[in-house]
Structure 1
Amino acid sequence: MSNHPVQTVSTSNDKYKVILAVVAVISGVAAFYILANQAGWVRVIALLVGLFAAVGLLATSDLGRDFVNFAKESVRETKKVVWPTRKEAGQITAVVFGFVLIMAIFLWGTDKFLEFLLYDVVLGWKK
């Protein structure tokens, strides 16, 4: 017997919910532009109705529930992170800038040395 998890294909109802959610968003945006001669608040309400309908439809689908679970897990994992103090962050930043400065000087020096070696010694070109 295998212990591999079985991934199920979402039902056709979930596919229809996602399609209807996309249609709701498109309808809300279309209503916003169709109602161009109406007051601004009417247009915004039409847009929000379409967006909320889409969110409601997606929230009831497997895809929406999976996304909500993922978001909750992400927040939970973020709370576990040990963030550095202001002093530690400043020290780490100083080390990074110092390293970048040393590498820049090293690469500049290497470039100048190779330039001297190639142009002056090998090719005999004098500037």
Structure 2
Amino acid sequence: MSAIHTESSKSSLDGLKWVITVLLLVAIIAGNYIYGESVHIIARILICLVLAALAIFSAAMTEKGKTFIEFATDARSEVRKVVWPTRQETVQTTLIILAVSTIVGLILWGLDGIFVRVIEYITTAI
């Protein structure tokens, strides 16, 4: 029974955190619109950055935010495991792809020309 109560309290706190996040983002947009001309640009940028950092922090404290941060951390560690090709390998692979694409394109162009001639011959002969 207490597990259900704990889960519902977490979800209600998550809801509150999401409301705070949305309100901070709305404050950024509204404040920038309302005080666009009267406040110096540097001050507006700093205020927007602080509010955006607070919004990100608030979103990161939710269950979905924690899940996203864990996913991003795992993705970064997986990207570090990738063995990237050397410049020479990349150039060679690119040239092979260009050559094969050109050859296939020429073959399709030739087949198209043959089919056009055959259909032209059939339609004029009938």
Could you tell me the TM-score, scaled by structure 2's length?
0.85
Aligned 1:77-116 pairs, distance under 5 A: 77-116=78-117
Alignment-derived partner of residue 28 in structure 1: 28
Aligned 1:1-127 pairs, distance under 5 A: 11-36=11-36, 37-120=38-121, 122-124=122-124
Equivalent pair of 1:17/1:58 in contact (CA under 8 Å): yes
Q: Structure 2: how far apart are the matches of 1:104 and 1:15?
A: 56
Q: SS at the partner of 1:32?
A: helix
Q: Structure 2: how far apart are the matches of 1:115 and 1:104?
A: 16
Alpha-carbon shift at residue 47 of structure 1 (Å): 1.3
Q: Structure 1: how far apart are the matches of 2:61 and 2:107?
A: 58
* Equivalences, count: 117
Kindly report structure 1 stretches of 4+ aligned residues shifted beyond 6 Å: none
Q: Structure 2: how far apart are the matches of 1:79 and 1:43?
A: 37
Larger deviation: 100-109 or 45-54?
A: 45-54
* Higher RCO (CA < 8 A, seq sep 6+): 2
Give aligned-pair identity as a percent.
Answer: 27
Equivalent pair of 1:22/1:54 in contact (CA under 8 Å): yes
Equivalent pair of 1:24/1:54 in contact (CA under 8 Å): yes
Equivalent pair of 1:32/1:46 in contact (CA under 8 Å): no
Equivalent pair of 1:28/1:49 in contact (CA under 8 Å): no
Alpha-carbon shift at residue 49 of structure 1 (Å): 2.4
Q: Could you give the per-residue CA deviations for residues 21-60 of structure 1, whole angstroms, max 9, x where no partner exists? A: 0111110121122112111122112212221110110121
Q: Structure 2: how far apart are the matches of 1:113 and 1:16?
A: 69
CA RMSD for the aligned pairs? 1.8
